[in-house]
Amino acid sequence: MISTPASKKFICAPCDASPDDDDDDDDGSVTHDSYYDVVVCGAGAAGASFARTFAETTSKLCDENERVDASSTPARRVLLLDRAGCAKTVERVERVTRRASVYGARVEALGRFRALGVATASREVAACDAEKKTVTLDDGRVVRYGALCVATGASPRCPLPETCDGRGVDVYAARDVESAEALARRVRASARASASTCSRRIALVGNGGIALELVDALCGRGLAVEGLESCELVWLVKHAAVGDAFFDVDVADFLARALELRRRGGGGDDDDDKTRERGGVDWEALARSSSSAKDGTKRRRVGAAAGPEWATRFRAEVEDARGTGRRRMRLRVVKNVEIRDAVKTPEGANALTLTDGETIEVDAVVAAAGVEPRCEWLDERDAPRSTIDGGVLVDECMRVLGRRNDSIFAIGDACSMERRASAVDAPWFQMRLWSQAAQTGAFAAKVAAGACDGDALGFNFELFTHCTTFFGLKVILLGLYNAQKLESEPANDVVTYQRESLSQNPEACQYVRVLLLRGRMMGAVLVGETDLEETFENLILDGVDLSRFGPHLLDPDVDLEDYFD
Ligand SMILES: Cc1cc2nc3c(=O)[nH]c(=O)nc-3n(C[C@H](O)[C@H](O)[C@H](O)COP(=O)(O)OP(=O)(O)OC[C@H]3O[C@@H](n4cnc5c(N)ncnc54)[C@H](O)[C@@H]3O)c2cc1C
């Protein structure tokens, strides 16, 4: 269930990517009671990938069949629905290893899919009758389907507790480009107001990659916006350490120290120094707070990270054309707290009462505390949900578990791949990312088209990989890098080795950590230009026993490539 009541609506600008080219989508041709072989609900990374792959695969199969038998079955009809009227296509920007790539997401008009023979409609799916195999659109039209694909993604988790009214409280989310822009406009307005009147404050709730990116942009690297230095970012963290929801504490600690070193290296930057005096981020303190969480507890599940493109767009939107020099917000980190109550004051401020008893008044609350799958239009009896993350549970073919297994697929952020994620022999787990959304979409489409079955799952989801950038440094995560799924292994069987080099030159900053289970590499974290990703990917997949190396495994003079096929 989405925990954001109407009174706590996130502020989000409408999608601006579509309207120009041929986007008066064929709503008109989607008539009441029309039938489609497949109806795809949601055209994000997952749904767009499904629609494209399904159209291409079925058209290829048709061509092949026609060559054999001219009277063979015609191409199957697909309908792609999205309430925002645009589609997000994930593209590989750079291939890093055989399985790891850097991805970006391109937004395009939904109508573009018509060139592939896919019907489209900019409508919201309001309800589904899985017995009759129909979906009802928000304008009352009913569409019949042979198979349904649930790709409606996830929503940012509301940081206000369900017990509080929260009516009128300004909660902003960092979900996508549009919401990032809306947030950027809010930050700019606060900075301007601060420059002309009094100091302003914004609360940030969350402790994952998105929160880290925001803190970096607003308080770390800074932005050319007048008045920003008079604003305060109050970072509300429910854990005892920052970055805890995404990183392992060691990696967070390294990144924080690397950033501090680089900042110190920029001694000639007057503006940087001035801002530090005014109370820019104390990255050393952040590093210390991360380190202090080394309490030996098991590492936890991770969440999605804010990507560089998202952060770039946010920065561009905040920055003032007239702004000169980088300015930074003051940062106050409040750990071990959550919001207990939130009200709009008669003066128009948002008053937050924290669980430690403090009350603060802020211009806005930024929700960066993870996401919740968004499928409230689908009955749980037809698509059972995960008790862990609320996603629609799927089998090895991306079909929903239970009585609608033959007719409903779920993909991307909306689904929960608990079965695959719990397979002990696979160094793979689910993280809500573009790459996984696109992969689940393409795989489910091939299953729906009859081009592959569950046996192909292993190949598609055999190794977890993620390539991203944090604080300007390349970060590659491979396999069970954070000991995911290894909680029940005897502690003595799990060994980690790490090495690091810190330098004011970002190109010379490196952090490498490998995790071995009974001598076999299960995962690795690579920060900076290590050039080890290909080798480590092969070592993880080959399962070579590396016990004899001990810590020398990370010795740059050892040529590991000699030890695998
Ligand atoms: C700020 C941020 C930064 C991120 N950065 C990265 C990154 O750098 N790298 C990375 O790999 N991942 C990143 N992610 C995660 C990634 O964006 C998601 O995992 C991915 O987009 C999920 O794709 P999806 O298609 O499942 O869902 P979505 O992209 O959310 O798409 C769902 C679609 O369904 C539509 N929809 C919803 N409800 C309905 C309805 N009832 N009827 C019709 N249409 C509906 C929506 O309009 C939307 O277009 C980031 C996430 C966030 C929030």
Q: Residue 506: what are its φ and ψ, rounded to 5°?
A: -55, -30
- Our answer on whether the CB atom of 174 is closer than 6 Å to any ligand 1 atom is yes
- The domain defined by 171-369 folds into FAD/NAD(P)-binding domain (3.50.50)
Residue type (1 letter), 449: A
Cα 340 to Cα 342: distance, rounded to the nearest angstrom? 7
Atom number, ligand 1, closest to the C-alpha of residue 124: 42
Ligand 1 within 6 A of CB of 415 = no
CATH 2.170.150.70 assigned to domain 6-156+372-452? The reply is no
- The tens digit of pLDDT for each residue in 172-226 reads 987 766 777 888 999 988 988 876 667 789 999 998 778 878 887 888 778 888 8
Q: To the nearest 10°, the Cα dihedral for 61, 65, 67, 69? A: -170
Shortest-distance atom of ligand 1 to CA 307: 8
* pLDDT of 471: 72
pLDDT number for residue 456 = 74
Beta bridge partners of 526: 476, 512
Residue nearest to atom 20 of ligand 1 (CA): 434
Class of domain 465-563: alpha beta
> What pLDDT does residue 182 have?
86
Nearest residue to 358 via CA among 466, 186, 252, 201: 201
Mean pLDDT in consecutive groups of 10 residues from the start of the chain, 565 residues: 40 41 59 95 95 92 65 74 90 90 85 93 96 97 98 91 86 78 89 77 88 82 86 89 67 76 50 35 43 34 40 77 77 92 90 96 92 94 96 96 97 94 88 91 95 76 88 88 90 93 83 95 94 94 92 85 64
| Cα distances (Å, whole numbers) of residue 310 to 101, 202, 313, 317, 533 | 18, 20, 5, 11, 25
What digits encode the pLDDT tens for the residues 21-53?
444 455 667 899 999 999 999 999 999 999 999
- Domain segments of the chain as ranges: 6-156+372-452, 171-369, 465-563
The helix (H) or strand (E) run that includes residue 258 is helix 249-265
Q: What is the pLDDT of residue 88?
A: 87
Residue 45 CA to ligand 1 centre (angstroms): 6
For the Cβ of 307 lying below 6 angstroms from any atom of ligand 1, the answer is yes
Of ligand 1's listed atoms, the one at least distance from the Cα of 15 is 47
Per-residue pLDDT, 9: 47
Domain 6-156+372-452 shares a fold with domain 171-369: yes
- The residues facing 408 across adjacent strands are 148
CA triplet 432, 13, 345: central angle to 5 degrees?
100
What is the pLDDT at residue 276?
A: 33
Predicted local distance difference test score (pLDDT) of residue 314: 81
Which of 11, 358, 362, 331 lies closest to 200 in space, CA to CA? Answer: 362
